[in-house]
Amino acid sequence: KKINETDLKYLSNSSTTEKRQDNQKGRPSNERFSFQEEHPQAATHILMKYSQLHVPVLYGSQIPRQDRDDTPERYNRALLTLFVPWRNAIDLCDVNETWEDAFESRKDLISAHSWKI
């Protein structure tokens, strides 16, 4: 989301005040997080944590079935993208590695809860 004055105030106060003050009215503010400095939108955007849990959705075609012979690469790539923390593609799959090998070596990073989704 684009940064506004409320976000700037929240971010400046978050370094000094960990908890919401008791005299503040209304519901608690959602947590906000800045991008790293090298991110292209670091100066203009932030990430805001939702109040309720959400499942991320990949744009494009649906996640392919695991049991089909023609889609293992797409299946492995989709699961890694959704459930393994990453900053760039090399975090998910090394240059000389197949997506299947990458998935096998990183599947222990996927939480038990995520496997149920």
User: pTM, whole model, 2 decimals?
Assistant: 0.56
Is 58 part of a structural domain of the chain?
A: no
Total domains, the chain: 2
Per-residue pLDDT reduced to its tens digit, 32-64: 888 888 888 888 998 888 888 877 776 777 776
Q: Please give the sequence-ordered ranges of beta strands (E in DSSP) within 35-86, or none if there are none.
A: 46-48
Q: Which pair of tokens denotes residue 101?
A: 């090998």
Q: What is the domain range of residue 81?
A: 72-116
Q: Does residue 56 lie within any of the structural domains?
A: no
Contacts of 102 (CB under 8 A, 6+ apart): 76, 80, 92, 93, 94
Going by C-alpha positions, the residue among 11, 45, 9 that lies closest to residue 31 is 11
Residue 64: inside a domain = no
Q: Which of 39, 45, 51 is nearest to 8 (CA)?
A: 45
**67 located within any domain:** no
Per-residue pLDDT of 98-113, as tens digits, reads 999 999 999 889 888 8
